[in-house]
Amino acid sequence: MPKRHLWIAFMLAVGIVPAQAETIQVTIDRLVFSPVTVEAKVGDTIEWVNKDVFAHTATVKGGWEVMIPPKQSASLTLKAAGPVDYFCRFHPNMKGRLVVAP
């Protein structure tokens, strides 16, 4: 194996090279976020896919809000670590949780 490939393999093994950001889908169907709890990392993108015929939001009290139109999707890139509880402003019984690692 060439030296360059060994060096890259070493950097990956010890965590020097950052992991690739992911897009994680949360489906909204029949007034439910699924999955309810998502584990993600800073830099990942959450994409909410609304299968319902009416609009929803992903709202954090005192924080951000994402509007998700009916039969469409919307997304948000995570900027900070920590647990985040969110709900739909139109349907407050709809709740979800993001557990965001650094």
pLDDT tens digits along 22-76: 999 999 999 999 999 999 999 999 999 999 999 999 999 999 999 999 999 999 9
Amino acid symbol at 102: P
Tell me: pLDDT of 13 over 90: no
> Does the residue 12 lie in any domain?
no
* pLDDT surpasses 70 at 4: no
Domain that holds residue 65: 20-101
53 occurs within a structural domain: yes
Residue 10 domain-assigned (yes or no): no
Longest dimension (CA), the chain: 58
**Domains of the chain: total:** 1
Residue 93 CB burial class (10 angstroms; 0-12, 13-18, ≥19): exposed
Question: CA nearest 48: which of 81, 5, 40, 101?
Answer: 40
In a domain, 4, yes or no: no
DSSP element (H, E) containing 100: strand 95-101
Q: Is the pLDDT of residue 6 over 80?
A: no
Q: For residue 94, is it within any domain?
A: yes
Kindly state the average pLDDT of the residues 67-92. 98
Tell whether omega for the bond before 69 is within 30 degrees of 0, i.e. cis: no
Instruction: Look up the CATH number of the domain holding residue 97.
Output: 2.60.40.420
